[in-house]
């Protein structure tokens, strides 16, 4: 199969839509449907909106003071765990056409250009503090690696830890060696969410390298496609809707690399999550079943038949226990299929990733 | 039709030129001799000089010097200053090609070719810049329209500029670089070649600029003399005005020459650390950092906080800001050391007087390709800090601070102001690079003991300034004794005068010692 034609022809292939998370994808029935007006366009990040509103410098300073007071009123655990001071700066940075004007000590009636109404700024900051709405949803973007990805409710905000998957892939590609030219092969990102990993990998691959990102969620597919277009990578990366391997049957045995950050939080932990996560981020992106391992195991078991010999795989997990379990599982059950398995820690020192190669 | 005076002038001018050439020749030898003596310890230079002279014995050079000084004995009296200020660029040709033919006739016949590229500026009646300085004409206020006063002021400025540029060393260095730049195998090592040719270009630029100033001064003077001879008051007053403009312009160049160090034009990091003493000294460190932020902003520099560890109650434990702009390092390096505060502490309920310290370190940000150290990714320990708990999908935080430790040296750098971990890491990497570069420069400097102390990072042992808010109000620089009775405005960033007085002082003192 020619990879280039694949990417060009099947831009967004909707093969699967489901409002509830399937227990196991193999038992689910595929429902195909065409995109309709029910699917609104992805939201434009605040920093990309046109600066069509104005307010006076003094009103803006007043907002800033008010916002600072509001953030200092929050309880200690919220204050400790968050970065409200920086977030307020970044919110203003994204809202203003010329963020430097806030550095002056003057307060005057000079007009400043804003990308949203001043009232909306008040609203947004109230949501941040009172509703614990994640900062990234408020500004509509997340800075991740050297990318600025559009995010909105319904799609997981990519985490800093996950950036490392791209580094791991990059090392493997640049390392070259006995595994052939992985950088010019087909890569798969399962559960692509905002498209973060897919885009990150897309930018380190060679000219012939291609990425397919898969997600079950409507919103994720839309947001990921939007981000791919924003980075002008639509010739390199295609986003497909469906459950895990289901939209990929045509690539069996041809995949050069498979990566995934699937939902891995044990169901029992969902209620206790930090409000920003538990109340606002999509449960479909978080809940990994009783022990948090169901999706990881499902993907792990399917990986062997997708990857070509010498192909690379990397999974993000919930931590040491998951890593050990997965490692042992692959070493025993799939002894024949995988080699060179490794557990890799994140920058906080937590064992986070399992990597390996298809024998 | 030429008038008699024209002819006279022409003859005179010609005579002067001849005399000048002899003088320059003498200077060539003088310079050579000086340099050889001065640099004998400097192995690197000596080696290059030796191959440079390609086999010419020093004795021969000495001999030559001897014979020349007898030949030109008569002229040497009329030329007061022995300060060689030009002509060194032709040293190489001279020493390679013409020495063995040292015969008066041959020599003179090629003399003009030899020196044409590096003639010292001289008026038609034989006045040189050094000559003007030696004349010691009275310098009056700028408003007095007296050409001699202007000329004298300008000549002195030029001398000061040369001193600040370490003119002699600069010429030697330039000569060595010119030699290296012309080597055919230079680009075999592109990194080295880049460094060499950058430095060569920069020194060449300085050299040309100063020579240009000398030339300009001499031309203005010639113009004025001409105008007088021709009885042309318009031309005269025009030329005096031009001289005045030059006088003002050269004053600014004096300042620029203070910042002629190799890395002075770079951007830099300023790091402030609180001394012992808890909240009071953390508050002080915060005030010092604020002072630099305001100073940098007023100068139009970009200021970004890279890393900041706040005190529990007030101020900072430490912080690093990146200051972007021309000469940021050149100025800020004057602030390295311990800063002392004396005041009634607002954090002491007993209202006692406290003394606290904050240490300031400054590192230049070298451009790509001029790093002194290559960092190996495998030598790094990378940590995410301020994170706790399970991380990953459990946590949504916007803080992705990263700390790097360079294991072989133990040097660390952290960054937390960026919006992604990746960029915090990149930014911390840049800080680490600049710290390692500085460490390496300091190490090399110790080896050839030619760098100033400002590069050593022993900031605590080196108290540079004291800020007293009680019982009297005064900021005093302990190095220069420069002081201000308005601590508030100093703490609001008015530190230019402190910086300039230090730079002037240390630079002029240092060069006097040469
Ligand atoms: C933890 S998120 C990771 C998102 C993104 N890769 C990242 O790292 O930011 C898991 C993703 O898997 C998707 N997902 C959950 N169940 C899925 C399934 N059965 N098939 C495909 N994707 C699924 C979710 O919609 C979500 O986007």
- Residue A316 pLDDT greater than 80, yes or no: yes
Q: Which residue of B has its CA nearest to A100?
A: B302
pLDDT tops 80 at residue A116:
yes
Cα–Cα distance, A217 to A229 (Å, whole number): 18
- Cα of A200 vs centre of ligand 1, distance in Å, is 16
Please give the DSSP secondary-structure letter assigned to residue B326: T
Q: Do A143 and B392 touch (CB under 8 A)?
A: no
Q: For residues A201 and A292, state if they share a domain.
A: yes
d(CA A341, CA A350): 17
The per-residue pLDDT of chain A, averaged, comes to 88
**Cβ distance A265 to B394 under 8 Å?**
yes
Evaluate whether residue A182 is within a structural domain.
yes
Domain identity same for A319 and A227: yes
3-class secondary-structure state, position A215: strand
Same-domain status, A255 and A336: yes
User: What is the Å distance from ligand 1's center to A191 Cα?
Assistant: 3
A47: which 2 tokens?
């920093």
Is B504 in CB contact (< 8 Å) with chain A? no
Q: What is the pLDDT of residue B4?
A: 56
Q: Is A217 in the pocket of ligand 1 (CB under 6 A)?
A: yes
Residue A52 tokens read as 């069509």
Structural domain tally of chain A?
A: 2
How many angstroms does the Cα of residue A220 sit away from the middle of ligand 1?
A: 8
CA atoms of A115 and A323, how far apart (whole Å): 44
Q: Which residue of A has its CA nearest to B308?
A: A86
Whether residues A243 and A166 fall in one domain:
yes
Q: Which residue is closest in CA terms to ligand 1's atom 4?
A: A193
Residue numbers in A near B383 (CB within 8 A): 347-349
A35: in domain: no
Q: Residue B471: how many CB atoms within 10 A of its CB?
A: 9
Instruction: Give the pLDDT score at A278.
Output: 95
Contact B393 A81 (CB under 8 A): no
Q: Is the peptide bond before B471 cis (omega within 30 degrees of 0)?
A: yes
Any domain includes A32: no
Stretch A202-218: mean pLDDT: 96
Least confident of A268-277, A288-297, A332-341, B126-135: B126-135
Q: Does residue A105 sit in the same domain as residue A165?
A: no
Residue A28 within any structural domain of the chain: no
**Alpha-carbon dihedral of residues B36, B42, B43, B47, nearest 10 degrees?**
-30
Q: What is the pLDDT of residue B49?
A: 41
Question: Could you tell me the CATH number of the domain that includes residue A312?
Answer: 3.40.50.150
* Phi, psi for residue B413 in degrees, rounded to 5: -155, 145
CA-to-CA separations, A184 to A119, A187, B201, in angstroms, rounded:
50, 9, 43
Q: Are the Cβ atoms of B390 and A318 closer than 8 angstroms?
A: yes
**Is the minimum distance from the CB of A216 to ligand 1 under 6 angstroms?**
yes
Same domain, A206 and A335: yes
- Verify that A101 and A65 share a domain, yes or no: yes
Taking a contact as any Cβ pair under 8 Å apart, which residues of chain B between 383 and 412 contact chain A? Answer: 383-384, 387, 390-400, 402
A310 Cα to chain B: minimum distance (Å): 25
Q: Which residues touch A297 (CB under 8 Å, ≥6 apart)?
A: A326, A329
Cβ of residue A157 lying under 6 Å from some atom of ligand 1: no
Residues A119 and A174 in one domain: no
For strand B411-415 and strand B463-468, is the pairing parallel, antiparallel, or unpaired?
unpaired
Candidate from A264-268, A298-302, B13-17, B444-448 with smallest mean pLDDT: B13-17
Tokens of B479: 């190095």
- Token code pair at residue B481: 């004794």
Which pLDDT value is given to residue B3? 54
Q: ∠ CA(A154), CA(A159), CA(A163), 5° rounding? A: 125
C-alpha B36/C-alpha B39 separation (Å) is 5
Counted across chains A and B, CB pairs separated by less than 8 A come out at: 94
What value of ipTM does the predicted structure carry?
0.87
Would the CB atoms of B395 and A274 count as touching at under 8 Å? yes
In tens digits, chain B (514 residues) has pLDDT values of: 445 555 655 655 565 566 556 556 555 655 555 555 554 444 434 434 443 443 344 444 444 444 444 444 434 343 333 444 433 333 333 333 333 333 333 333 333 323 333 567 888 888 888 888 888 888 888 888 888 899 999 999 999 999 888 888 889 999 999 998 888 888 888 878 888 888 898 889 889 999 999 999 999 998 899 888 889 888 899 989 999 999 988 988 888 888 888 889 899 999 999 998 899 999 999 999 999 999 999 999 999 999 998 888 999 999 999 999 999 999 999 999 999 999 999 999 999 999 999 999 999 998 877 788 899 989 999 999 766 788 999 999 898 999 999 999 999 999 988 999 999 999 999 999 999 998 888 887 776 554 444 434 455 678 999 999 988 999 999 999 999 999 999 999 999 999 999 998 877 776 665 5
What is residue B390's predicted lDDT score, i.e. its pLDDT?
87
Do A111 and A200 have their domain in common? no
Sort out which chain B residues have CB atoms less than 8 A from A281's CB and list them. Answer: 396
Measure B402 CA to nearest chain A CA, in Å: 8
Write the DSSP symbol of residue A247.
G
Q: Are residues A116 and A163 in the same domain?
A: no
- Nearest-neighbour CA in chain A from B431: distance (Å): 18
Q: How far is the CA of A217 from the centre of ligand 1 (A)?
A: 8
pTM for the predicted model, two decimal places: 0.73
pLDDT (0 to 100) of residue A73: 87
B393·A349 Cβ contact <8 A: no
In chain B, DSSP finds a helix count (H) and a strand count (E) of 16, 11
Q: Which atom of ligand 1 is nearest to the CA of A155?
A: 27
Q: Is position A99 within any domain?
A: yes
Substitution target in A160, A203, A271 with the highest count of B β-carbons within 10 Å is: A160
What pLDDT does residue B104 have? 33
Give the Cα-Cα-Cα angle B94, B100, B106 (nearest 5 degrees). 75
**Domain range enclosing A99:** 46-139
Q: Is the pLDDT of residue A160 over 60?
A: yes
Distance from CA of B261 to the nearest CA of A (A): 31
How much is the pLDDT for A16? Answer: 37
Compute CA A231 distance to the chain's CA centroid, rounded to the nearest angstrom.
Answer: 15
> Does residue A155 have a pLDDT over 80?
yes
pLDDT of residue B31: 58
| Least reliable range by pLDDT among A190-194, A300-304, B290-294, B386-390 | B386-390
Distance in angstroms (rounded) separating the CA atoms of residues B442 and B452: 9
A130 lies in the same domain as A165: no
Domains observed in chain B = 1-114 (no CATH), 115-258 (1.20.58.410), 267-369+436-513 (3.30.70.1660)
- Measured between CA atoms, how close is A339 to chain B, in angstroms? 24
Q: How far apart are CA B54 and CA B41, in angstroms?
A: 19
A170 in a domain, yes or no? Answer: yes
Considering the domain architecture, whether residues A175 and A104 belong to the same structural domain is answered as no
H helix or E strand, kind and range, residue B236: helix B233-258
End of a domain among A92, A108, A139? A139
Whether residue A63 lies inside any domain: the answer is yes
CA of B383 to the centre of ligand 1 (A): 27
- What is the pLDDT at residue A96? 95
Residue A332 lies in a domain: yes
Rounded percentage of chain A residues whose pLDDT exceeds 90:
77
Q: Residue A318: its chain B contacts at CB < 8 A?
A: 390, 392-394
Closest approach atom of ligand 1 to CA A158: 9
- Residue A244 CA to residue A236 CA, distance in Å, equals 20
Interface test with chain A among B296, B321, B396, B417, by most A beta carbons within 10 Å? B396
Give me the helices (H) in chain A, please. Answer: 3-9, 57-72, 76-81, 84-95, 118-126, 135-139, 163-175, 196-202, 218-230, 275-278, 294-306, 320-332
């Amino acid at each position: 199969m020619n990879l280039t034609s694949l990417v060009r022809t099947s831009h967004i292939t909707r093969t699967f839509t489901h409002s509830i998370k399937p227990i196991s994808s193999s038992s689910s029935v595929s429902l195909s449907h065409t995109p309709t007006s029910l699917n609104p366009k992805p939201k434009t990040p605040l920093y990309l909106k046109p600066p069509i509103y104005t307010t006076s410098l003094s009103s803006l300073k007043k907002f800033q003071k008010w916002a600072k007071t509001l953030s200092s009123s929050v309880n200690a655990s919220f204050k400790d765990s968050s970065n409200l001071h920086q977030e307020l700066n970044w919110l203003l940075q994204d809202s203003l056409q010329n963020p430097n004007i806030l550095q002056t000590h003057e307060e005057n009636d000079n007009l400043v250009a804003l990308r949203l109404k001043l009232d909306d700024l008040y609203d947004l900051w109230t949501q941040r503090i009172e509703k614990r709405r994640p900062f990234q949803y408020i500004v509509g973007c997340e800075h991740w690696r050297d990318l600025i990805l559009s995010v909105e409710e319904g799609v997981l905000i990519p985490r800093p830890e996950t950036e490392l998957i791209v580094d791991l892939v990059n090392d493997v590609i640049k390392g070259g060696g006995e595994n052939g030219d992985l950088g010019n092969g087909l890569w798969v990102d399962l559960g692509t969410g905002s498209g973060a990993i897919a885009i990150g990998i897309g930018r380190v691959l060679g000219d012939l390298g291609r990425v397919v990102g898969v997600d079950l969620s409507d919103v994720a597919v839309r947001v990921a496609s939007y981000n791919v277009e924003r980075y002008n990578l639509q010739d390199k990366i295609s986003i497909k809707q469906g459950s895990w391997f289901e939209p990929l049957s045509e690539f069996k045995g041809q995949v050069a690399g498979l990566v995934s950050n699937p939902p891995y939080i044990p169901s029992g932990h969902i209620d206790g999550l930090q409000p920003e996560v538990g109340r606002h981020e999509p449960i479909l992106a978080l809940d990994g079943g009783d022990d948090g391992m169901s999706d990881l195991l499902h993907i792990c078991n399917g990986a062997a038949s997708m990857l070509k010999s010498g192909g690379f795989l990397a999974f993000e997990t919930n931590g040491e226990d998951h890593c050990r379990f997965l490692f042992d599982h692959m070493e025993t059950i799939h002894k024949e299929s995988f080699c060179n398995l490794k557990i890799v820690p994140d920058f906080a020192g937590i064992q986070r990733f399992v990597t390996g190669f298809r024998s | 039709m030429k008038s008699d005076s024209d002819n006279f002038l022409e003859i005179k001018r010609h005579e002067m030129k001849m005399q000048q050439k002899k003088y320059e020749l003498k200077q060539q030898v003088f310079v050579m001799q000086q340099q050889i003596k001065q640099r004998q310890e400097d192995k690197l230079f000596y080696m290059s000089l030796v191959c440079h002279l390609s086999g010419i014995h020093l004795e021969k050079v000495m001999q030559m010097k001897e014979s020349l000084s007898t030949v030109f004995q008569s002229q040497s009296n009329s030329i007061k200053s022995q300060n060689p200020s030009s002509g060194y660029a032709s040293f190489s040709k001279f020493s390679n090609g013409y020495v063995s033919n040292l015969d008066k006739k041959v020599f003179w016949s090629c003399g003009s070719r030899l020196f044409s590229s590096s003639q010292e500026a001289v008026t038609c009646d034989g006045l040189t810049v050094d000559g003007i300085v030696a004349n010691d004409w009275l310098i009056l206020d700028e408003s007095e329209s007296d050409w001699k006063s202007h000329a004298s002021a300008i000549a002195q400025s030029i001398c000061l500029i040369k001193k600040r540029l370490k003119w002699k060393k600069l010429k030697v260095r330039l000569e060595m670089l010119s030699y290296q730049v012309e080597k055919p195998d230079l680009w075999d090592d592109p990194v080295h070649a880049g460094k060499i040719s950058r430095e060569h270009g920069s020194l060449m630029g300085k050299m040309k600029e100063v020579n240009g100033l000398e030339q300009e001064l001499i031309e203005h003077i010639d113009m004025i003399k001409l105008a007088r001879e021709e009885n042309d008051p318009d031309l005269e007053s025009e030329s005096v005005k031009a001289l005045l403009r030059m006088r003002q312009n050269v004053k600014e160049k004096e300042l620029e020459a203070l910042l002629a160090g190799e890395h002075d034009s770079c951007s830099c990091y300023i790091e402030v650390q609180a001394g012992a003493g808890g909240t009071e000294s953390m508050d002080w460190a915060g005030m010092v950092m604020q002072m630099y932020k305001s100073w940098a902003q007023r100068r139009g520099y970009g200021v970004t906080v890279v890393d900041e560890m706040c005190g529990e109650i007030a101020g900072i434990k430490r912080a690093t800001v990146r200051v972007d702009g021309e000469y940021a390092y050149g100025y800020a390096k004057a602030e390295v050391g311990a800063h002392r505060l004396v005041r009634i502490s607002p954090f002491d309920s007993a209202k006692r007087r406290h003394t606290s310290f904050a240490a300031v370190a400054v590192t230049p940000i070298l451009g790509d390709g001029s790093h002194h150290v290559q960092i190996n990714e495998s030598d790094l320990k990378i940590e995410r800090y301020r994170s706790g708990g399970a991380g990953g999908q459990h946590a949504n935080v916007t803080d992705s601070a990263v700390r790097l430790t360079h294991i072989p040296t133990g040097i660390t750098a952290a960054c937390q102001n960026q919006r992604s971990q990746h960029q915090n890491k990149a930014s911390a990497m840049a800080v680490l690079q600049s710290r390692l570069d500085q460490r390496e420069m300091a190490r090399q400097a110790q080896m050839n003991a030619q760098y100033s102390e400002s590069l050593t990072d022993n900031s605590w042992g080196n108290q540079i300034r004291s800020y007293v808010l009680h019982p009297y109000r005064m900021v005093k620089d302990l190095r220069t004794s420069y002081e201000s009775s308005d601590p508030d405005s100093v703490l609001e960033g008015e530190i230019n005068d402190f910086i300039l007085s230090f730079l002037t002082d240390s630079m002029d003192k240092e060069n006097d010692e040469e």
